[in-house]
Amino acid sequence: MSEAPAAPRSASAERTAAASLLLTPPQPRSGWRLLPARIVAMCAVELQKLRHDRTELYTRAIQPALWLLIFGQTFTRIRAIPTGGIPYIDYLAPGIIAQSAMFIAIFYGIQIIWERDAGILNKLLVTPTPRSALITGKAFAAGVKSLIQAVVVIVIAAILGVSLTWNPLKLLGVGLAVVLASAFFSCLSMSIAGIVLSRDRLMGIGQAITMPLFFGSNALYPVAIMPGWLQVVSKINPLSYQVDALRGLLLGTPAHLGLDFGVLAVAAALGVAAASSLLGRLAR
Amino acid sequence: MTPDTPAVACTRLAYSFGDTRAVDGLDLTVGEGEVFGLLGPNGAGKTTAIRCITTLLPVPAGMVSVFGHDTGRERMAVRRLLGYVPQQLSADSGLTGRENVALFARVFDVPRRERAERVAEALAAVDLADAADRLAGTYSGGMVRRLELAQALVSAPRLLILDEPTIGLDPIARTGVWDQINAVRAATGMTVLVTTHYMDEADQHCGRVGLMHRGRIRALGTPAELRQGLAERRGTDTLPTLEDVFRDVAGSGLDDQSGGFRDVRSTRRTAKRVG
């Protein structure tokens, strides 16, 4: 690639001189208003990127569609899993929404390593953005991505005849659960990124933990039929609480919404704290 | 703040990575409105010094201040005064030029009502108005550098810090980037701190330079002073170049430590991205 010859810039210098805006620094936002502003900034970038390149949106829809279409349809016929009287594909749908959102978030750390390598992260760290605000912004940006994914899976599920709620308040709750869980999983990923510092290693660890997180949750089958040790895994796995909330909200099955949202919120907050404290390792 | 508060003041700044003393007792004062060049070979400690000044690396209080604000204690205040262009081409290739600049307007708290206008002005100031809505991934190396300059300018910084701004660029693009920096400085009067290992560029564009070697400044002055000084010491009539001055101050130790494998690799990586 060659650069077009750049002419002397006296003309643009005059323009800059006339432009008063570039001579006055913006008024700093302070206190509580800073965090929401950074979250909005990071989410805006994520949405802009998705608008320019929708490939990821389409390719990411394939796997959940296959899970519902093949696994869901087959197991609905087998009737091997006790679902409390609802068709298995209905039971499965919230689990697949949670799973596909988690898959996006768990590899989010790769992006932050890429940004580190490209110098973007360093540049952001030299802006008036505390590390915790940057991580929270990124966590919500991952949440936005997961939310779009969740909408896609809900549409697929609806097309496959799963009877989901259309109550707007409940859907809002679904959105909140997806965002909180993605915030946790993306922070987990960014924390690992802060420890291993390389894309390849993060990729390997991501691959290694996604399946245990998925199978060690109530996404595919109820906790009650798991062996004892797996029930323990499921108890400490935030994915289980997300699935429980999604199932309760989307299908109206009995759920522990207070506990679910509580666990998800605490997990997200802990994740932000962990990832923020490890971010410095990526910056040096 | 008094009118003669320096833009940057480093007092016995030291920073080590493990056993390697990257910066080893650096004393440096950059006055307001100066274009100051920090020169030296790969591995001299320039980038580490820059990262200490930009708050990227944690330094104890009392070592570095920017316009009177201590980088150890008042990080946020320091960052609000800075525009920073790192060594790598750091524009996000998945966003348009305009979106890249808008992100920095947002994180510097530019209010929504003036954001679009400010972003447009920053892009116009670096002659990217026509390419503003193309993805940055389609830009040439020189254009990305100018875009980064716009990103740094959108918050009206008082101190612009550029780490190897012309690394890996072809000569024409290099001139273009410097023209841009000089034009912006003429228009805004901002202080510029730039690192480079191209001595000819420093000679041409910097008001004052500090020659850095093994973590410390070994010679300081205007390029003309340094060259004149060496000519007098040598008793020659022909004026030596800044490179000669550098060889003189660095002495024979220039080859054994400068440019570790990691620096060469990062330089190559940048050069590759520039294309």
- Contact yes or no for B108 and A37 at CB 8 A: no
Nearest CA to CA, how far is A145 from chain B (Å)?
A: 15
Chain A residue closest in CA terms to B134: A52
Nearest CA to CA, how far is A79 from chain B (Å)?
A: 46
In this prediction, residues B237-249 reach a mean pLDDT of 87
Q: Is B82 exposed, middle or buried (CB count within 10 Å of its CB: 0-12, 13-18, 19+)?
A: buried
- Contact yes or no for B96 and A52 at CB 8 A: yes
Confidence of residue A5 (pLDDT cuts 50, 70, 90): very low
- Contact yes or no for B99 and A284 at CB 8 A: no
Residues 6+ apart with CB under 8 A from A43: A137, A140, A141, A144
Residue-wise pLDDT tens digits, A263-280 = 999 999 999 999 999 998
Residue B43: per-residue pLDDT: 83
- Residue % of chain B over a pLDDT of 90: 65
Give chain A positions within 8 Å (CB) of B114. Answer: 21
Residue B17 has pLDDT above 50, yes or no: yes
Chain A residue closest in CA terms to B266: A117
Residue B267: per-residue pLDDT: 61
Mean pLDDT taken over chain A: 90
Residue A103 has pLDDT above 70, yes or no: yes
Residue B41: per-residue pLDDT: 82
Dihedral pair phi/psi, residue B195, rounded to 5°: -105, 150
In this prediction, residues B80-90 reach a mean pLDDT of 93
Q: Which of A2, A28, A127 is the closest to B104 by Cβ? A: A127
Residue-wise pLDDT tens digits, B199-224 = 899 999 999 999 998 899 999 999 99
CA distances from A112 to A102, B86, B206 (A): 17, 17, 35
CA distance A237 to A233: 6
In this prediction, residues B132-153 reach a mean pLDDT of 95
Residue A2 has pLDDT above 50, yes or no: no
Q: Which of A103-112, B175-184, B252-261 has the lowest mean pLDDT?
A: B252-261
Give chain B positions within 8 Å (CB) of A16. Answer: 121, 125, 183-184, 187-188
Dihedral pair phi/psi, residue A144, rounded to 5°: -60, -45
Confidence of residue B274 (pLDDT cuts 50, 70, 90): low
CA distance A187 to B153: 31
In this prediction, residues A219-234 reach a mean pLDDT of 93
In this prediction, residues B95-121 reach a mean pLDDT of 96
Residue B237: per-residue pLDDT: 82
- Contact yes or no for A15 and B186 at CB 8 A: no
H helix intervals, chain B: 46-53, 75-81, 97-107, 112-125, 141-153, 171-188, 199-205, 223-234, 242-250, 254-257, 261-274
Give chain A positions within 8 Å (CB) of B123. Answer: none
Q: Which of B90, B95, B188 is the closest to A48 by Cβ? A: B95
Residue A277: per-residue pLDDT: 96
Residue A8: per-residue pLDDT: 44
Residue-wise pLDDT tens digits, A236-260 = 999 999 999 999 999 999 999 999 9
Q: Which of A60-69, A134-143, B96-105, B254-263 has the lowest mean pLDDT?
A: B254-263
- Contact yes or no for B94 and A129 at CB 8 A: no
Residue A12 has pLDDT above 60, yes or no: no
Residue A14: per-residue pLDDT: 46
Mean pLDDT taken over chain B: 89
Confidence of residue B187 (pLDDT cuts 50, 70, 90): confident
In this prediction, residues A149-173 reach a mean pLDDT of 94
Residue B270: per-residue pLDDT: 62
Residue B252 has pLDDT above 70, yes or no: no
Give chain B positions within 8 Å (CB) of A24. Answer: 156
Nearest CA to CA, how far is B265 from chain A (Å)?
A: 12
Residue A101 has pLDDT above 90, yes or no: yes
CA distance A206 to A272: 18
Q: Tell which phi-psi region holds residue A119, choosing left (phi > 0), alpha (psi between -120 and 50) or beta.
A: left
Residue B8 has pLDDT above 80, yes or no: yes
- Residue % of chain A over a pLDDT of 90: 81
Confidence of residue B3 (pLDDT cuts 50, 70, 90): low
Residue B258: per-residue pLDDT: 45
Residue B235: per-residue pLDDT: 86
Residue B148: per-residue pLDDT: 96
Residues 6+ apart with CB under 8 A from A150: A97, A100, A101, A174, A175, A178
Nearest to A100 by CA among A54, A162, A148: A148
Confidence of residue A83 (pLDDT cuts 50, 70, 90): confident
Give chain A positions within 8 Å (CB) of B272. Answer: none
Confidence of residue B256 (pLDDT cuts 50, 70, 90): very low
Q: Which of A29-33, A201-205, B62-66, B147-151 has the lowest mean pLDDT?
A: A29-33
